[in-house]
Amino acid sequence: IFLMAHTLVPWAQTEPIPLQAGAPFETSEPAAYFSPYSPVLKKPVVGVFAPVTNSDPPRYNVGVSFELSVIQEIVNLQKFPSDSVAAVIDQDHRVIARSRKPEEWVGKSATGDLKRRAQAGDVGFAESTTLDGVRSLTYLTRGNRYGWSVVFALPMAALNQAAWRITIQAVAASATL
C-alpha cells in the first residue's frame, strides 16, 4: 500500500511513498487528517487523502498536504472580540487552529465538557472551560463532512459585565421615568 504523490515534495523527487504504520489509508471517500508530525516536512500538517479507484480494493491514495498556517490564517482574518477565543478542532477533537496563543494549543485535545459534547454530536451553546482555564459560554458547530468543528468561547466574566451594564442602564432609565 502506497501513497502515490505528496504535494509538498517537488514532483521530480516524488516516488510512491510506503505507508507508515498507523497512517490513514482511504478505500472509499476522501478524508482529512491532522498529523502532529509529518515525516516529510518534520512539522504538523493537514492531509486530505483520496483513494485511487482503479483497483479493488484500492492500492494507492493521493494525498494533498498543507501546512496548518493555511487554516490559522483563516482564523486570524476573523474579527473576534478580544477576550473571546475561537478554535478549529478535527474529528479527534484536537485543536488545528486557534485565535489566541495557537502555538501553545495546536495539537492539544479538547477536554471536559467540550470534548464530551463534540463526541456526542451536541452542538450549540453550553458553559465550559477553555483549554487555558477560562469559564465561558461556548458555541460548538456541527462537524463538517470531515468531522471538523469550530468552537467559539466568550468568557462568563465578559457576559456578566455586559449583563450588569445593561441592568444599570435599565435601572437608570426606570428611575428617570
Distance separating alpha carbons of residues 50 and 29, to the nearest angstrom: 6
What SS3 state is found at 74? helix
Return per-residue pLDDT of the chain as tens, 177 residues.
555 555 666 665 556 666 677 778 888 999 999 988 877 778 889 988 899 888 888 888 887 888 899 999 999 999 999 899 999 999 999 999 999 999 999 999 999 899 999 999 999 999 999 999 999 999 999 999 999 999 999 999 888 787 777 778 877 777 776
Write down the pTM of the prediction.
0.80
Integer CA distances (angstroms), 132 to 83, 86, 122, 151, 152, in order: 12, 12, 22, 14, 14
Q: Say what the alpha-carbon torsion angle 87, 91, 96, 101 is, to the nearest 10 degrees.
A: 40
